[in-house]
Amino acid sequence: MGQDSISRGAQSAGSFASWLSLIGRIIVGQVFIFAGLMKVADPQSVAMSIITFDVISKDNETLISLAAHIVPWTEIVAGLLLVMGLFTRAAASVIMLMLAGFVALVLHALSQDHPVICSCFGKLKLLCEAEITNCNLIQNGILALLALFPLVLGGGRASADALSSPKADSGYEDYGKEEEEEMFD
């Protein structure tokens, strides 16, 4: 097996990883943008949903209102950054943290003896019903799996991160080596 075939294999694997990252970025980013926009359009519904989760006292209106406004905007900004592939790993990290929080909330909701209504996508029911079920765990698990690709692999194809970093074949791979060699000679 020659060096060329090994190189082609590595390029092919890199290309596949780049596509996985792109697909993960676009799907998860768009889902988070959409979910955030639906929540921004109806913060009162989000606040009511937060109350039904029973993790913040319903008497703490300030914290409930704050969460009802911060969560949607965080979803929108992180989703936009992920779709653009700008600060990809940071955006994917924020989304993974949010998904971990959502999973914790879903698990808490499933342990309650009263129905808990999710405003995951505002008043729309896309994949799961409004009432929290195991479907929400599966939905968040799939999103986390897809978000894992850009988190681990970076922006991939068609990302602002890729456009702003020097490419291996751009001539920058040797940048600074002469100075480094001179320093150690």
Going 98 to 99 to 104 to 105, the CA torsion angle's sign is positive
**Residues 102, 94 contacting (CB under 8 angstroms):** no
**Nearest of 115, 92, 118, 96 to residue 105 by alpha carbon:** 118
Are the beta carbons of 50 and 132 closer than 8 angstroms?
Answer: no
Cα 81 to Cα 98: distance, rounded to the nearest angstrom:
15
For residue 132, the number of C-alpha atoms closer than 13 Å in the C-beta half-sphere is 25
* pLDDT tens by residue, the chain, 185 residues: 555 544 444 445 568 888 999 999 999 999 999 999 999 999 999 999 999 998 999 999 999 999 999 999 999 999 999 999 999 999 999 999 999 999 999 999 999 888 898 888 877 777 888 899 999 999 999 999 999 999 999 998 789 998 887 654 434 344 455 555 555 55
Contacts with 11 (C-beta within 8 Å, 6 or more apart), sequence order: none
- In angstroms, the CA 144 to CA 41 distance is 25
Give the model's pLDDT for residue 13. Answer: 54
Whole-angstrom CA distances from 30 to 51, 59, 80 are 27, 34, 8
- What region does 54 belong to: left with phi over 0, alpha with psi -120 to 50, or beta? left
Inter-residue contact 64 to 56 (CB < 8 Å)? yes
The predicted model scores a pTM of 0.80
The residue whose two tokens read 């929540």 is 39
